[in-house]
Every structure is written in C-alpha cells, then in structure tokens.
Amino acid sequence: MSLNELTIHELSAKLARGEVSSVEITKDVLTRIKQVEPQVHAFLHVDEADSLRQAEAADKLRSSSSSSSSLLGIPVGIKDVIAVKDQPCGCASKILKGFISPYDAFVIQKLKAAGAVVYGRLNMDEFAMGSSTENSAYGVTRNPWDLERIPGGSSGGSAAAVAADECIAALGTDTGGSIRQPASLCSVVGLKPTYGRVSRYGLVAFASSLDQIGTFSKDVRDTALLMNVIAGHDGNDSTSVPQPVPDYTKALDGSVKGMKLGLPKEYFIEGVDKEVSAAVRAAVDKLASMGAEIVEISLPHTEYATAVYYIIATAEASANLARFDGIRYGLRVEGAKDPIEQYGRTRAAGFGQEVKRRIILGTYVLSSGYYDAYYLRAQKVRTLLRQDFINAFEKCDAILTPTSPTAAFKIGEKTDDPLQMYLSDIFTISANLGGVCGVSIPCGFTSAAKPLPIGLQIIGKPFGEETILKVAHAYEQATEWHKRKPILTA
C-alpha cells in the first residue's frame, strides 16, 4: 500500500518510528495527483516546491525536537475558500482570478503550528454556492467512484481528493451541507462542527451565520485528530466561542451501549432513494445490535428548512459579495463611463450564473416591502428549527439520518433545474440553521454496475462533537465500508 493511501494516525505512527519521512509521504501524494488528476480534477493549484519545502522543515523539526503533534509532516489539502498566505485564494471564481492571500486563516495558523504540510487549492462550487462542484469557473470535479458523476458540493474537490488518495486529509466548508453531502457521495468522513467551534477568520464568507470550516478524512480517528488542532477560540472571530477544546480521540472507545439515538420521522420520507433508505436503516439496526437504544423523535419544522435556508443564505450572500466590485481587488472590467457601469460590467463578467442567481434572490428578499414577508419571517422559523433540535436532544444523545436523499447523480443531470439541485441538501440544511454539529460516515453502496457510496449522518447537540464522533467511530469499527477504495487507473 502506498503512503498516500494511509490515514493520519497510521502515517504519524510510521513517522514517530522513523520508518518514513514527511518528504516521502508528500512525494507519494504529489505523484498520485499527477496520476489521477487528469480524470478527477480535484485541484485548482498545487505548488510542489513549496509542499516539499514544508515537508523538509517538518522532518528537521522531528529530528531536532520531541514534538508529539499527530499532524507533524502530514499533507493536508485546502478548499479554495480558506486563506493561505502567499497562495491563490480564488473561490473557484473568475472575479478573484490571480488574487493571492496576504495572510493565513486561523485554521491554517493552527495547522502550520502543528507542523502539517499545507498544500493545494481544492476545487469547489464558485463561492461555495452549489451541491455538485459543477459551478466552478474552472471545470467540474468528478467523483472517483464513477467519473461520469458529481462528487457533491460545494466542497467536492476536497471530498474527491481524499477519496482518490490525492490528500491524506482536507479542509472544507459547510454552509448547508457542503462537507457532509460530498463526504457521503465520495465515501469519506466529513464533519461540520458546531457554529462557533472553529474560527471563520480567513474564510471568504458566503453566509456568515451559517458557514463553518470542517474536515474531510479517511476515518473517524483522523477527524478527531484534525479537530484537536483546528478547534478553539479566536479573538479575530466575534462568533468564535471561548470554550475549552477536549481531546476528541478520548471519546473513541468503540461503544454505543446505553446511548439513545434518535430517528426523526421527517427524514424517512417518500423521495428518498430506496437503496439509500435501506442502507441507512441497516446502519441503524447495526447500532441497535451494538447496544444503542433507538428512539423515534420528531423535528416538526423540517419541511420549512430548505425555503428558510435559501432566503437567509442568499440574503447574507448578497451582502457579503457586494465587496467584489472591481475597485479594490480581483477582476476589473475597463471601459466603463462611470463607477456604476464598471461595477455592473465587472460583476456580470466575474460571477457565474448560480452566484448571480443567489445575489438577485438575496437582494430581493432584503428589499423594501419584502424584508418582513421573507427575511424576517425566515429568521423566526429558523428559531423554531433550532428549538426542534433542543427538544429532540432531551430524548436522545444523537440523531441518525440519511446524509443525502440519493447517491451521486450524473454530471449535467440537474443543472437546468435549480430547485432539484437545492433539494440535494434537504437533510443537511437544518443542522446549519440550528447551529448544531453533524458528521457523515460511509454506510453502504448502491447495487449499480459501478457501486456508488451512501452516507449516514449523525447530528449532535451544540458542542457535542465528542458524542457524534463516538457513535461514528463505533459504527465504523464494526463495519468495513470505510476501507473500500475507488478504482482509478493512471
């Protein structure tokens, strides 16, 4: 098995024993990228020389100190919406083409302090707006399990790169399911932390009250190791919560005995693919056989979640993306007779269709005469959705649902029907609106000629990451789904 196929904890153990070097691991990852990237297209940019310099520095640090960091010398890929100093940060958009970040995001500072090799800019839906990574200005990322299908979105590049072993792990962002949905469709582990658990400083904002940076990894232990590093309070982010960071690996004891796991009736409905439903039900049965108590719960306002999300998210996007005007940085279309025309020309040329659609929707719901009817009402229903979770967690420790209503669909299948595309996130949106945490883990495959991954979503209380990782790890250790790899030939 090549080094790029191993997990963080496996590589960390080999590094500690002196069996391999960070340079060797990084070279394996870079070689893998060259082999499969023409098929997958997960990356927008890779600086090989800088990656190897970081790996050499990690090896020197290991030889000259007693550093115990599990991430020392481990290559971690970064979604193209998180700032890394002196690297491009284009959000997969033409309007930021050529923009180089002048500083590191908080999570990047933490990764670098832990000795990780921070490399690569991973493809995504433009400004994180989409569920398929078809909205990137620089081409579609393909699902490693079936190259004719989407990897999910908006963090599709991150999920595909981890699944294809082009990354040991990766960071992504989740505004309405953009980590968990692609993790499900690519058969990797994807965690959206509680809002405020991981700093958003250095994240290019889409919807500020919903965005959260999270992780992609090959197994649950790796997710815990990443969270040990990137979680924590940051004074540069006013929404960052000053709460101590536990050692998440201590929760991974392999047991769910005596835990109460909720099954919301609103998530097991018509329209969910039969194979998805069957795989998730089988996962629920497996957890029950391991000693968990399965209790039926209700999240009664779930039916309003998609409508509420697309009012609040587009409103915040309209405000956040107003800064991209062709004046201060990024693309500027010349030849306009006045600043107003220049704004219009630059934004028309720089933004893609989906971003324009959401800006227009957001501007509309915030406009005079519609604010109360749409935005204010949506915020009130959001409060009810959050209360649903609070009530449900009085009866259970965590909630089990499908991550996505279907397995990965074909490229181009839903591009002409935005509403159908939006419904891809129907099971993940509520967690963002409620500010709770959620993780997707592999739980099966379809019976297609090219089997497609299916994900189980585990939702936890605010700052309940330890609990959902405990459940996820116990299920993972009792099954083999996470060990299956897509077949990609160079």
* Rounded Cα gap, residues 465 and 46, in angstroms: 32
Q: What backbone phi and psi angles, to 5 degrees, belong to 422? A: -60, -30
Torsion on CA atoms 419, 422, 425, 429, rounded to nearest 10: -110
Q: Which residues are CB-neighbours of 335 under 8 A, at least 6 positions away? A: 345
* Options 22, 154, 158, 217, the catalytic residue: 154
Instruction: Give mean pLDDT, residues 253-261.
Output: 97
User: Does residue 45 register a pLDDT over 80?
Assistant: yes
Asked whether 129 and 354 are in contact (CB, 8 A), the reply is yes
* Rounded Cα gap, residues 478 and 69, in angstroms: 28
pLDDT value at residue 451: 97
Angular region, 165: left φ>0, alpha ψ -120 to 50, beta rest: left
User: Does residue 424 register a pLDDT over 90?
Assistant: no
Question: What angle in degrees, to the nearest 10, is found between the helix axes of 305-320 and 377-392?
Answer: 120
User: Does residue 327 register a pLDDT over 70?
Assistant: yes
3-state secondary structure of 265: helix
Q: Which residues are CB-neighbours of 212 under 8 A, at least 6 positions away? A: 173, 174, 175, 192, 193, 194, 195, 197, 198, 200, 432
* Rounded Cα gap, residues 299 and 393, in angstroms: 11
Instruction: Give mean pLDDT, residues 183-187.
Output: 98
pLDDT single digits (tens) 260-300: 999 999 998 888 999 999 999 999 999 999 999 999 999 99
Residue 364 amino acid letter: Y
Q: What is the pTM of this model?
A: 0.97
Instruction: Give mean pLDDT, residues 396-424.
Output: 93
3-state secondary structure of 44: strand
How far, in Å, are 50, 117, 398, 419, 451 from residue 285 at the CA level? Answer: 48, 40, 15, 33, 22
Confidence bin at 391 (pLDDT 50/70/90): very high
pLDDT value at residue 124: 98
Instruction: Give mean pLDDT, residues 132-141.
Output: 98
Angular region, 44: left φ>0, alpha ψ -120 to 50, beta rest: alpha
Confidence bin at 157 (pLDDT 50/70/90): very high
Angular region, 247: left φ>0, alpha ψ -120 to 50, beta rest: beta
Q: Which residues are CB-neighbours of 95 under 8 A, at least 6 positions away? A: 324, 330, 331, 346, 347, 349, 350, 351
pLDDT single digits (tens) 202-227: 999 999 999 999 999 999 999 999 99
Instruction: Give mean pLDDT, residues 119-133.
Output: 98
User: Does residue 181 register a pLDDT over 70?
Assistant: yes
Confidence bin at 116 (pLDDT 50/70/90): very high
How far, in Å, are 55, 73, 308, 407 from residue 34 at the CA level? Answer: 18, 21, 42, 28
* Options 21, 178, 184, 240, the catalytic residue: 178
3-state secondary structure of 30: helix
In the numeric block, the tokens 């998440």 are attached to 248
Q: What backbone phi and psi angles, to 5 degrees, belong to 455? A: -115, 145
* Rounded Cα gap, residues 433 and 176, in angstroms: 8
* Rounded Cα gap, residues 114 and 120, in angstroms: 18
User: Does residue 490 register a pLDDT over 70?
Assistant: no
pLDDT single digits (tens) 437-479: 999 999 999 999 999 999 999 999 999 999 999 999 999 999 9
pLDDT value at residue 46: 98
* Rounded Cα gap, residues 36 and 31, in angstroms: 9
* Options 51, 70, 79, 131, the catalytic residue: 79
3-state secondary structure of 38: helix
Please give the mean pLDDT across all residues of the chain.
Answer: 96
Whether 238 is catalytic is no
DSSP state letter for 266: G
Q: What backbone phi and psi angles, to 5 degrees, belong to 79? A: -60, 145
Q: What proportion of the chain, given as a percentage, has pLDDT over 90?
A: 92
pLDDT value at residue 339: 87
Q: Which residues are CB-neighbours of 239 under 8 A, at least 6 positions away? A: 195, 196, 200, 208
* Rounded Cα gap, residues 251 and 229, in angstroms: 16
Whether 289 is catalytic is no
Which domains are present in the chain? 3-262+395-411+434-483 (3.90.1300.10)
Other CB atoms closer than 10 Å to residue 418's CB: what's the count? 15
Q: What proportion of the chain, given as a percentage, has pLDDT over 70?
A: 100
pLDDT value at residue 419: 82
User: Does residue 65 register a pLDDT over 90?
Assistant: no
Asked whether 125 and 133 are in contact (CB, 8 A), the reply is yes
Instruction: Give mean pLDDT, residues 326-335.
Output: 88
Angular region, 442: left φ>0, alpha ψ -120 to 50, beta rest: beta
User: Does residue 72 register a pLDDT over 80?
Assistant: yes
Instruction: Give mean pLDDT, residues 92-120.
Output: 97
